[in-house]
A and B are shown apart, each in its own frame.
Chain A
Amino acid sequence: MGVSPDQQKWASNASPPNGLAEDVVPPLRRIVVGQEVPPIRVGDGFGFEENGQPEGEPAWGHGSEPTPEWVRESMRTEGLTIAFGKKEAVKDVSLPVNTGEVLALIGPSGCGKTTLLRSLNKLVDLTPTARRSGRILLDGEDVDLFDDTQLRRRVGMLFQQPNPFPMNIFDNIAYGLRERGTKRPRRKELEPLVVDALERAGLWDEVSDNLDHPALSLSGGQQQRLCIARSLAVHPEVLLLDEPCSALDPISTTIIEETVVGLKDEMAIVIVTHNLQQAERVADQVGFMYLGDLVEYGAAEQVFNAPMAERTKDYVRGDFG
């Protein structure tokens, strides 16, 4: 495992600006197929206490701009294999998903990245032919122990197409908050939660006057942010994004990307994207998949600038895809 550019940068710096000692700067984790994924514990190697609290100012970040974040493992897959009928879409994938980081899954079409993403909230299980082996852990617990509905409240998802429900803006956000079986909460009780979700998704200023308008009257970009707000309303621990900007214009894309990056302090974010520039812009960690295999996993800067596997090299250079 070589010395990363980050480490070199830090190493050449007599006193790192964040006050962390040189030796606690963690080596960038990277995985090459065939190697075992190193177990990552809470606070492991990040200069954090075992309880996950940062020591002083949390200021360590990958990439060129050191953004304050609190990185801790939220989910992980262990030897995850997913097959549709006889075709294996995801083969023996082990990778961590961390709070405080954006993980981008890249790779050519049909490489299994969307299947991997959809397995994290067990949406794949809705496909009758899907078979899964291996484990998926959320906060160290096997997701099979949870009820599907419980799991999906903790692991939110955003889709390729903006898909607000055919109801007004308020009800779209409140939809996830209204529990089944219990008495329907009154609008007054839900209002602060709805406003909060819209604010976090950066949509509040645009829709504050017309919460009763149909959600489908919004523009495509606004609809997608409404969908983000809808997921945020139930306070998920992980947010899965399945090519969230592929149906949007560049300005909306930028806004969504900024929103996503702004959310990573609160939750783990996994984004599947075909757009390598987008992955470079938002991701801290990158997983490159090819034909169902996780070929490479590591810090975004490294995967893009100094990929270890030949396949990754070819792909990020744009030779195939």
Chain B
Amino acid sequence: MSSAAAKRRKAAVRQSRRNAGPPKKIKAKGIWSIGDRIGVVVAWVSGLLLCIIAASITLFMGWKGIQYVTWDVVSNSPVASLEQAKTGGFLDPIIGTLLLTILGGLIATPVGVAVALWLTEYGRPSPLARFVEAGVEVIAGTPSIVLAIFGLLIYQQGFMAPFSFTAVGGEVFGRSFFAAGAAMSLIALPFVVGGTREGLNSIPKHIREASYALGKDKASTIRRVLLPSARRGIATGSTLGIARIAGDTAVVVVLLGASLQISPEGTIPGLDVLRGTGSTLTSYVFVNSPAGEGNAPEKAYAAAFVLLMIVIVLNLVVSRLTKKGQHVWG
């Protein structure tokens, strides 16, 4: 490139600057069109409104809940009664919620991680991968009541008797923690798959190559490098899924029986509870709210508060745990 050409270009730039005169001050106002300004206002208002709604839910439930949450209500089992003062507490629904989230999470996490790993790291043949993706989306889009009815269909089969509440005559009800947990795992599954895929996709290609370049095969790379790197995504997905499990009512009503107390089935300790029916905080809130038949609104508020707390604590714990594993790729 000749320097003469560069000189000519510089001279042209100088000339055009001279023609333009002194630089004008840009007015701040009047640049944005009416539509843009309305858009900005809408964005601000929506954001603030969401904050207000979130704050009012927490504050309202906190205010209502704290009034009624006592040691008695969280440590006693519910009792059937028409008088609110005699309905006991909601220990069983708390245990039910915890059991169901653990059970659902235990099923959904490994399956979801496996699906995500296959989709991200293998994904061949690609028509099959697309089919699996579509399947996950269908499950994600299916209302939980539909999943529950489908679960009932399966768990009412005679061969499912070992996993279900059964009548004296051998009739299989299709209701148990097993049944509800399995259906709940389907609710959590898409979240686990999504979170894990996001985690895996955020790992740069050269990290995988670095492992291969050390003479490692795919299995070691996945186990020792990719999964640890994606643990934040896995934890996020699992938490989101577990929160969904804790918040679902339809599956509880259909597949867990929403019975007042946990009613074990069988004689094997531990297993009997899982084969039996029970309730969760969600079904308890529903049944005892003014809308339900229990008509114990104070208990409903207290239970709703506890449920909210469980979900918030769950989120905090996981975000703490995953912060350790947070890292920025170069």
Are A and B co-members of a single complex? yes
Q: List 14 A-B contacts (CB under 8 A).
A: A149-B216, A152-B212, A157-B210, A159-B206, A163-B207, A163-B330, A165-B207, A165-B229, A166-B325, A176-B216, A216-B327, A230-B214, A234-B214, A234-B215
A126 vs B330: C-alpha distance when bound (angstroms): 22
A153 contacts across to B, CB distance below 8 A:
214-215
Tell me, yes or no, whether A21 is within 8 Å of chain B by CB: no
Tell me, yes or no, whether A24 is within 8 Å of chain B by CB: no
Tell me, yes or no, whether A161 is within 8 Å of chain B by CB: yes
CB distance from A228 to the nearest CB of B (A): 12
Please report B residues at the A interface, Cβ cutoff 8 Å: 204, 206-207, 209-217, 219-220, 224-225, 228-229, 325, 327-330
A150 contacts across to B, CB distance below 8 A:
215
Q: Are A176 and B327 in contact (CB under 8 A)?
A: no
Q: Are B209 and A166 in contact (CB under 8 A)?
A: no
Q: Are B214 and A156 in contact (CB under 8 A)?
A: yes
A63 vs B206: C-alpha distance when bound (angstroms): 34
Residue of B nearest to A157 (CB): B213
Q: Are B209 and A126 in contact (CB under 8 A)?
A: yes
A247 vs B206: C-alpha distance when bound (angstroms): 14
A193 vs B220: C-alpha distance when bound (angstroms): 20
Of residues 142 to 160 in A, which have CB atoms within 8 Å of B's CB atoms?
A: 148-153, 156-157, 159-160
A11 contacts across to B, CB distance below 8 A:
none
Tell me if B's interface is mostly helix, strand, loop or mixed. Answer: helix
Residue of A nearest to B324 (CB): A214
Q: Are A163 and B212 in contact (CB under 8 A)?
A: no
Q: Are A160 and B209 in contact (CB under 8 A)?
A: no
A-B complex: 9 closest residue pairs judged by Cβ atoms: A153-B215, A157-B213, A176-B214, A152-B215, A149-B215, A161-B330, A216-B327, A163-B210, A159-B206
Total contacting residues, chain A, CB less than 8 A: 31
Residue of B nearest to A162 (CB): B330
Q: Which of B212, B214, B327 contacts A175 (CB 8 A)?
A: B214
B330 contacts across to A, CB distance below 8 A:
161-163, 220, 223, 247
**Known contacts being A214-B327, A216-B327, is A227 close to B210, with CB within 8 Å?**
yes
Tell me, yes or no, whether A121 is within 8 Å of chain B by CB: yes
A230 contacts across to B, CB distance below 8 A:
210, 214
Residue of B nearest to A165 (CB): B225
CB distance from A202 to the nearest CB of B (A): 20
Contact with B along A121-139 (1 / 0, CB 8 A): 1010010000000000000
Inter-chain pairs besides A153-B214, A176-B214, 12 sampled, C-beta below 8 Å: A148-B212, A153-B215, A156-B214, A157-B210, A159-B206, A161-B330, A162-B330, A165-B225, A165-B228, A166-B325, A167-B228, A180-B217
Q: Are B214 and A163 in contact (CB under 8 A)?
A: no
